[in-house]
Amino acid sequence: MAMDLTETVLENDHVRLEPLREIHREQLRDACNADQDVWPQFYLYSLANEHFDPFWARVQKDRESGSWIPFAVMSDSRCVGISCYIGIEPVHRALEVGNTYYRPEFRGTAVNPAAKHLLLRHAFSCSANRVQFRVDARNVHSRTALVKLGATQEGVFRQERVMWTGRVRDTMFFSILREEWPIVEAKLLERLANSRAAGGKPG
């Protein structure tokens, strides 16, 4: 049985993930320009300034080919970032959640764990066996967030990618498997419930 990963709106109490379309373009551009410093630190390519339009064209091409499913991350009817299904392999029932970015003021809030919950739940409901994540080995914040999410660290691929700045990065791989998801989800739902009680800050 192959994975049948569908493109659809995903929503919970914290965020709404909408399939990325032209209506989101300018708000996403504004979000990407809100942090000029983050792109050269940890991202394979920049989405800010003159880099945004080439990215937009590429992500729409990848969406049309079925290799990516990009989502606009919406909070209070405003696009505050992006997260995507990438590396989709239907026969192997595997994919990656990546190309994630949020406006600075939404980092450290419930937005990221809430978005990850939606993406993971939908992937496993569509028969995924494995969801993986890749992060720059120097990105301690993202590594910590994935461990807190419940993902398993698998190892480091040395000099795995050349960033747009020319730096060659080591990439750390994490994953969540289908059989692990019920326990991961239960802990994640508890965390999100606690964040509602705390006014939007995740536990």
Give the separation between CA 33 and CA 31, rounded to whole angstroms. Answer: 5
Q: What is the pLDDT of residues 123-172, one digit of tens each?
A: 999 999 999 999 999 999 999 999 999 999 999 999 999 999 999 999 99
pTM of this prediction?
A: 0.94
In this structure, what DSSP letter does residue 9 have?
A: -
pLDDT attached to residue 156? 97
Could you state, in order of their start, the residue ranges of all structural domains in the chain? 10-197
Superfamily of domain covering 10-197: Gcn5-related N-acetyltransferase (GNAT) (3.40.630.30)
d(CA 84, CA 79): 14
Mean pLDDT to the nearest integer, 2-26: 95
Q: What is the arithmetic mean of pLDDT over 69-76?
A: 97
73 and 80 Cβ atoms separated by less than 8 Å: yes
**CA angle, residues 18, 24, 25, in degrees to nearest 5:** 140
Q: How confident is the model at residue 84 (pLDDT cuts 50, 70, 90)?
A: very high
